[in-house]
Amino acid sequence: MPKGQTVLPDWINLDCAAPSEAHRESALARQAQLTKPLGALGRLEEVAVELAALQAAERPGADRVPVVLFAGDHGIAAQGVSAYPPEVTVQMLHNFAAGGAAISVLARSLGCPLEVVDVGTLADGPVRGVISDKPRRGTRDFSVQQALTPEEVAFACDAGRRAVARQADHAPDLVIFGEMGIGNTTSAAAIAAALLPCAPADIVGSGTGLDADGRARKAAAIGYALTRHGLTAATPVAEVLAAVGGLEIVAMAGAIIAAAQRRWPVLVDGFIVSVAALVATRLNPSCRPWLLFSHRSAERGHALVLEALGARPLIDLDLRLGEASGAATALPILRLACALHNGMATFAEAAISGREA
């Protein structure tokens, strides 16, 4: 298929329902009646109201929250853009499955089911405890050629949708997506640099722990790729994904849209998931209301992506691990927001004088 004709699955364009304004108004009215000064709980009030609208519920919840982690490898890693070798991705698959990774611990502590999906690692066979749903082993080096074919981009989108469908048995209150893949901050930065657009040096961060020379090498590789593939602000999103995308990033973009189409809120993790969210909102703007943002990453480009999304993250703890760790860390805040909204007494119930007009 010639360049410029990457065709995504038709379902990508299906509209997502709007949040329930009736439930938003009801939640706002309840907040005004609770035994506290109006607005005294700040963002906790806002989050509870937002979840009520998204879930179309009088009493919102954040108890049933599956976590899906997508893993993929990147040919651009051959250009020395990561402090770790590519084999770490597959090694981490085993760590996730064995319960030793950060997100494994967090999910277990929070009572969240964790699914790990290999959508494009270099693993040449099945990994116990990991679902394999991939069109190829790793992307191509996008400094040399297109990272993905149109068919591989479409496959990864569908893999994201399939992963979302598997979570239906959990009847989610919301969902969390995460990622793992050596070289994926480079792919994410390249996508963001093309879509925002911005200079690679403005979006490139330390990733797995690069020093200044490593960051410069990473920015140069991205700048060269943007020029080589002729990527500009006018390039269709699907073509950007084919040129410099990662299979796990494409899968997460598909998963975000698919979740929103099911009326499931998505608690967005850090830089790489936020880039996937940027892709998703460019492909299907109607998914944007279904995104809640967990944290501001220490990765340099995250602030630019959040600004482009009009997002206000809940926490800022200098996290930059990825693998959904920031979203999982923020989840208790959503749970507490719901508990306060649902469980506090109203002025009338507590026989306390309300605010004077």
Please write down the HEC assignment for all residues of 128-146: CCCEECCCCCCCCCCCCCC
Give residue 2's pLDDT: 43
What tokens were used for 1? 């298929």
Half-sphere exposure of 110 (CA within 13 A, CB side): 28
In a domain, residue 176? The reply is yes
Count the domains in the chain. 1
Choose among 299, 337, 334: nearest CA to 316: 299
In a domain, residue 27? The reply is no
What CATH number corresponds to the domain at position 256?
3.40.50.10210
Measure Cα distances from 130 to 2, 54, 98, 266, 310 in Å: 34, 31, 10, 22, 34
Pair 275, 192: CB distance under 8 Å = yes
In a domain, residue 55? The reply is no
In a domain, residue 339? The reply is no
In a domain, residue 79? The reply is yes
| Domain assignment of residue 183, given as a range | 63-334
How far, in whole angstroms, is CA 197 from its chain's centroid? 20
pLDDT above 70 as % of the chain: 99
In a domain, residue 356? The reply is no
The reply to whether 45 belongs to the active site is no
In a domain, residue 183? The reply is yes
In a domain, residue 24? The reply is no
How far is it, in rounded angstroms, from Cα 33 to Cα 313? 27
Give residue 355's pLDDT: 75
Secondary structure element (H or E) that encloses residue 160, with its range: helix 150-166
For the chain, which residues score pLDDT lower than 70?
A: 1-4, 357
Pair 142, 188: CB distance under 8 Å = no
Select which of 46, 323, 349, 356 is catalytic.
323
Give residue 11's pLDDT: 98
How far is it, in rounded angstroms, from Cα 100 to Cα 126? 19
Give residue 1's pLDDT: 38
